[in-house]
Amino acid sequence: MTQILDAVSIDVMNAIAQKFAKQPKAIKQAVRTMADKNNVTGDDAVLYAFYLVNKTGTDYINSQMRDIWIQRLEVLVPRLNTSDENLKKATDKQVASIALEIDDVDQRGEIITILKRNLLPKSTNVLQLVDCFDRLEQLFISAWKA
């Protein structure tokens, strides 16, 4: 990363620093947190450039995986409120595992919205499916709190 930034002009680095300065506090905190987790040091421009590169790559990976996550969850969501305890535990575990793969909270929300749009119109028991979506949201939240 350092070699890449060394090749960037001073004017560009100054522009990156100015753009960082205009970001909301939440973004600045996310930049610093990501830098800390990855042992990246430098001034604000370096940290923000690292954040942008990392976020771009992560967003691309997530876009590649989104359809796979949706396909897997379309099978699992209806099982979330099953009366079979063994199946329920296995399903909860699989859903939690998928939740951990989706590291962007906005992406998780988009996936839930797509699942609702795909599954609710086809359902013969909408109330039960709504309960399943409540459970899905709980699992997504609890997986990231653990």
pLDDT tens sequence across 33-57: 989 988 988 899 999 999 999 989 9
- State residue 1's pLDDT score: 59
The answer to whether the Cα torsion of 87, 109, 68, 70 is positive or negative is positive
- State residue 16's pLDDT score: 92
Strand stretches in 22-90, DSSP E:
none
118: how many CB neighbours lie within 10 A of its CB? 14
- State residue 88's pLDDT score: 94
| pLDDT, tens digit (0-9, with 9 covering 90-100), for 55-75 | 899 889 888 899 999 999 999
Contact, 108 vs 60, CB < 8 A? no
Closest CA to 73 of 140, 126, 121: 140
Tracing tokens 């990855």 back to the chain, one arrives at 38
106 versus 139: the higher-pLDDT residue is: 139
Question: How much is the mean pLDDT over the chain?
Answer: 90
| Element housing 40 (H / E) | none
pLDDT band at 27 (very low <50, low <70, confident <90, very high): very high
| pLDDT, tens digit (0-9, with 9 covering 90-100), for 82-113 | 999 999 999 999 999 999 998 888 889 999 99
Tracing tokens 């063994």 back to the chain, one arrives at 86
Largest CA distance in the chain: 63
On the question of pLDDT at 146 being above 70, the answer is no
140: how many CB neighbours lie within 10 A of its CB? 20
107: how many CB neighbours lie within 10 A of its CB? 17
Contact, 88 vs 82, CB < 8 A? yes
